[in-house]
């Protein structure tokens, strides 16, 4: 497993796939490897729903801003944080679940993310491409309705898998010095961030043949300007995640 | 990369490490591969703090219930969800960050988890063992104080890396049929969960030479009985994560 760094560092989101369904047994293997990720107290709060119905995929693609890869991926899956199963397990053992805690929400969300990333590494190790779809949270209630999710289950993100029909460049990341600190948080990264701004500007220019001219800080300013998905709090409360 | 499934499925938490510091360049390589995980809109909300000071490690070990691996691991790191850097970037580009949204909290938390799991796979691929430490959230305010975290940064979990000085069995997971669904959530898994209860009971019996006799549903009933870490909501609000 010498080339593990090479595999991980070659990740880029794939948004064009060959029109070929992912075999069932391949998705099972990928999800099975996903399950091997660490899980807080063995909670295993992850449920994965493979969306096969073309009309459901079309609805989700539409609410996610028209992302075509949701329609064309070999498999489109929705990764859910599932405390309904925990509640069931608890009741099977004669207990009662205390619901709605912020801590449970964190545990379940992290559980799903760890399992998903393991599944991503498995898929990419097999030569498939992937794309996370956070935009299912544009309208999480419709997603929950379409997938018939019970209370205490919320859709965290979508995940496309398939044979890549494109070979985009790897997007450069922040210098590791910005991200990894010794002992205490320190905040002297402005010069490194400015350098990254130029790296990313070059990347966008090359990739878009000059039509996109933007830096990281400019992208961030656009991203966090205004209330993003302000329905999430209320949506989660309705699902039984009151975040007390 | 044929054996990627084998690597991922051999994961188990390591709680005993050889007393040997992880070389700096190894941790840098691991974190660098962590950074290659997908990041929502390239937000890169992850900050990793390597805790070197023995007294800080001792304090964190104590508040995490006395977990010895925090003291003995080759590297002990705290993985933080960091929107302080985002705010800085936003201001560098002349913008203002809207803070406190639940959606931002989800994005940042998922970002950290994806990066951490990539780092875990990198470390395990190199033969190191790892252990996530969710229990830093027992007293997240003290952790934030020790690491001098600014507002809009919260410690999600700790992560130990090191040379394994034990070789525990892999913990069996729920049958994949319980976790992977077609098109809609369905709830007919009681028999599969009962079978898993027995699998896990055997695992605990074997591993503890008969002293631990418990099933998954019994573990879950204990886990979610009562308010777990009820300080988290208030702590996060103080950090600038109001979860609006």
How confident is the model over B27-72, as pLDDT tens digits? 999 999 999 999 999 999 999 999 999 999 999 999 999 999 999 9
Q: Which residue, A72, A149, A100, A11, is CA-closest to B1?
A: A11
Range B19-28 average pLDDT: 97
Among A225-229, B38-42, B88-92, B120-124, the range scoring the smallest mean pLDDT is A225-229
How confident is the model over A28-41, as pLDDT tens digits? 999 999 999 999 99
Range B219-228 average pLDDT: 92
Residue A56's domain comprises 4-169+225-238
Residue B160 in any domain: the answer is: yes
Residues A71, A116 within the same domain:
yes
Q: Which token pair is A219?
A: 């992208």
Residue A219 in any domain: the answer is: no
Q: Which token pair is A159?
A: 């995940």
ipTM above 0.95 for this complex: yes
Round to whole Å and give the CA distance between A98 and A80. 20
Residue B243 in any domain: the answer is: no
**By the 8 A CB rule, do B93 and B100 touch?**
no
The pLDDT of residue A2 is above 70: no
Residues B108, B197 within the same domain:
no
How confident is the model over A128-138, as pLDDT tens digits? 999 999 999 99
Give the pLDDT of residue A210. Answer: 83
Binding-face residues of A in 83-102 toward B, CB within 8 A: 83-90, 92-98, 101-102
Residue A244 in any domain: the answer is: no
Own/partner contacts of A61-66, CB < 8 Å, gap of 24 or more, are A63/A135, A63/A136, A63/A138, A63/A139, A63/A142, A63/A143, A64/A133, A64/A135, A64/A136, A64/A138, A64/A158, A65/A135, A65/A138
Residues A129, A24 within the same domain:
yes
- For residue B229, give how far its alpha carbon lies from the nearest alpha carbon of chain A (Å): 6
Question: What CATH number did the domain enclosing B26 receive?
Answer: 3.40.109.10
Binding-face residues of B in 108-127 toward A, CB within 8 A: 109-110, 113-114, 116-118, 120-122, 125-126
> Which of B101, B102, B221 comes nearest A95 by C-beta?
B221
The pLDDT of residue B242 is above 80: yes
Residues A114, A187 within the same domain:
no
Residue whose entry in the numeric block shows the structure tokens 């660098």? B32
Instruction: Give me the number of domains chain B comprises.
Output: 2
Residues B112, B75 within the same domain:
yes
- Quote the percentage of chain B above a pLDDT of 70: 99
Range B16-20 average pLDDT: 95
């Amino acid at each position: 497993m010498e080339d593990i760094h090479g595999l991980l560092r070659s990740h880029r989101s794939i948004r064009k796939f060959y029109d070929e369904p992912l075999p069932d047994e391949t998705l099972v293997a990928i999800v099975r490897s996903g399950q091997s990720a660490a899980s807080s107290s063995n909670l295993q709060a992850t449920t994965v729903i493979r969306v096969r119905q073309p009309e459901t995929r079309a609805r989700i693609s539409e609410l996610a801003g028209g992302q075509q890869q949701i329609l064309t991926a070999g498999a489109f899956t929705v990764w859910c944080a599932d405390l309904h199963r925990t509640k069931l397990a608890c009741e099977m053992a004669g207990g009662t679940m205390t619901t709605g805690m912020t801590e449970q929400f964190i545990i379940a969300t992290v559980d799903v993310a760890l399992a998903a990333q393991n599944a991503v590494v498995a898929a990419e190790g097999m030569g498939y491409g992937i794309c996370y779809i956070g935009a299912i949270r544009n309208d999480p209630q419709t997603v929950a309705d379409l997938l018939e999710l019970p209370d205490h289950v919320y859709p965290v993100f979508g995940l496309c898998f398939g044979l890549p029909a494109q070979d985009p460049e790897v997007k450069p990341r922040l210098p590791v010095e910005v991200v990894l600190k010794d002992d205490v948080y320190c905040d002297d990264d402005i010069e490194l961030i400015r350098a990254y701004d130029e790296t990313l500007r070059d990347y966008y220019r090359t990739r878009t043949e000059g039509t996109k001219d933007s830096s990281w800080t400019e992208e961030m300013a656009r991203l966090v300007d205004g209330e993003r998905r302000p329905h999430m709090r209320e949506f989660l409360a309705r699902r039984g995640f009151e975040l007390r």
